[in-house]
Amino acid sequence: MTASVDNAHSRTNGLETLGALIDDVIRPQAPTVDRDGAFPRQSIDALAAAGLLGLASSTEVGGGGQGMRAVAEVIERLAAECGSTAMVVLMHYAAAAVIEAHGPREVREAIAAGDHLTTLAFSEYGSRSHFWSPTGTATAADDGTVRLDARKSWVTSAGEANSYVWSSLPLTSGAGPMTLWLVPAGSSGLSVTGDFDGLGLRGNGSRPMTADGLRVPADARLAADGAGLDTALGAVLPWFLVLNAAFCLGLADSAVAEAGRHLTATTLTHTGAALRDAPVTRRSFAQLKIRTDALRAFLGDTLTALETGRADATVRVLQVKALAGETVAEVTDGAMQLCGGSAFRKELGLERRFRDSRAARVMAPTTDALHDFVGRIATGLPLLDEANR
C-alpha cells in the first residue's frame, strides 16, 4: 500500500478529498466489487493515499487526530456507495483503536501514514458470535515466544490486511477470559482457509483463518494477559458499534435517496402521473425517510454522549447498532417494494444495498445479543455473566 508523497498535506485534507475519491474511484468500482466478490484494493489504496486510514491516529505519530464523529462520517459516506469498502475501513478503524492504545510505535506510525491496513480477528468456530469467549489458545514456548493456535471463522480483509488484532485464551490460567495479540500478516503458521461468496458485502474479504503453531514474540501482546475482554469492551466495542451504525445509516440514506429519484423520474404513460403523485406512495416513502432521519438523530446523540462523558453513553453505544441494524433492514426492504421490479435491476443499486444491509444484524455482537445487553443494564445486571469475564 503506497501513501501520498506529502502525507501531512493528505492527512489534513483527507476529509475534503473524500468526495472526489468517491466520485473517481469508489462509486465506479462498487458494482464490480460486488459482482466479482473482489477485494476493493484500488479503493483502499486511494483512501490510504489521502490519509484517511490514519484519520483517527494520534498527531504524535503523524495521524489525523480526528475523533469518532469524523470517522463515522467517513464510514457513512463510504457505505452509501460501496458497502464492502466501508466494512474494510470500519474494521481497520476498530482494530487500529487497540493498536493506538497498546501497540508498538512503528505500527502506529505506519497506520498514520496509510501504509498499514489492520483488522480484527475475534470470531471463532467454537464460540461463533460470542467474541467474548475465545477458544483459541496461547502457549508460552521455550524460546520466549508465544504459540497461537485457533480457527477463526470470519476475518474481514483476511489475506489482505497487514496485521490482525487476534484474540485468544490467556497465557496464564485464571488471568482473565481473553488476551489480545498483534499478529503480522505473513506469519508462519497463519493461513486463510476458505473463500467468501456471500449474499452481501461480497468484496470485504471476510474469510476463515487458522493459526497452527503460529509464533509471535511475547511483546506482541496488546495490554495485559487476560485483559483482552476489558480492552475489547473499552477500546474496540464503542468504535465497532458506532461505526456499524454509521455504516447502516449510509446504506439507508442512499436507499431512500435512490427511491426518491425513482419515484420522481418514473411516470405512467397512460395517466402522465409520476409515481410520487400517489398519496399512498408518498406516505410509504415518508415513513422510510422518517426512520432514516431518526437513526441519524440517535447516532448523533450517541456521539454526543461519548464526547461529553454522559452517564448513558454505554447504553447508547449498545442501543445504536441494534437500532441501526433493524432500521437499515426495514428501510432497504421498503425501498425495494416502493421501486417494484426496477429495484431488482443491478443498475439501480438498491438490491446491492438491500443485500449489504443484512450483515448488521448478524455481525457480533448480533442484534439479539445487544438487546440482551441493553436489557441487562436496564435491569441492574452486569453486561456479562461472571462466567464470561
**pLDDT tens digits for range 334-354:** 999 999 999 998 888 899 999
Query: What's the confidence (pLDDT) of residue 128?
Result: 76
Claim to verify: residue 126 and residue 111 sit in the same structural domain: no
Query: What's the confidence (pLDDT) of residue 14?
Result: 72
Furthest-apart CA pair in the chain: how many Å? Answer: 82
Claim to verify: residue 383 and residue 266 sit in the same structural domain: yes
Residue 2 lies in a domain: no
From 116, 133, 150, the end of a domain falls on 116
Q: What is the CATH number of the domain that holds 293?
A: 1.20.140.10
Query: What's the confidence (pLDDT) of residue 6?
Result: 45
Claim to verify: residue 75 and residue 198 sit in the same structural domain: no
Closest CA to 169 of 190, 147, 186: 147
Closest CA to 110 of 124, 96, 122, 125: 96
Residue 317 lies in a domain: yes
Domain that holds residue 76: 7-116
Q: Give 299-322 pLDDT, tens digit per residue.
A: 999 999 999 999 999 999 999 999
* 147: CB partners within 8 A, 6+ apart: 137, 138, 139, 140, 141, 213, 214, 215
Residue 13 lies in a domain: yes
* 151: CB partners within 8 A, 6+ apart: 124, 125, 126, 136, 193, 208, 210
Query: What's the confidence (pLDDT) of residue 101?
Result: 96
Residue ranges in the chain modelled with pLDDT below 70: 1-13, 386-389
Claim to verify: residue 277 and residue 361 sit in the same structural domain: yes
Claim to verify: residue 189 and residue 282 sit in the same structural domain: no
Task: Kindly state the helix (H) or strand (E) to which residue 262 belongs, with its residue range.
Answer: helix 237-265
From 84, 99, 116, the end of a domain falls on 116
Count how many domains the chain has. 3
Residue 150 lies in a domain: yes
What is the model's pTM? Answer: 0.94
Claim to verify: residue 154 and residue 241 sit in the same structural domain: no
Claim to verify: residue 54 and residue 159 sit in the same structural domain: no
Claim to verify: residue 236 and residue 380 sit in the same structural domain: yes
Closest CA to 326 of 366, 364, 297, 286: 366
Q: What is the CATH number of the domain that holds 204?
A: 2.40.110.10
- In percent, the amount of the chain with pLDDT more than 70 equals 96
d(CA 52, CA 286): 34
Claim to verify: residue 291 and residue 335 sit in the same structural domain: yes
From 172, 190, 225, the end of a domain falls on 225
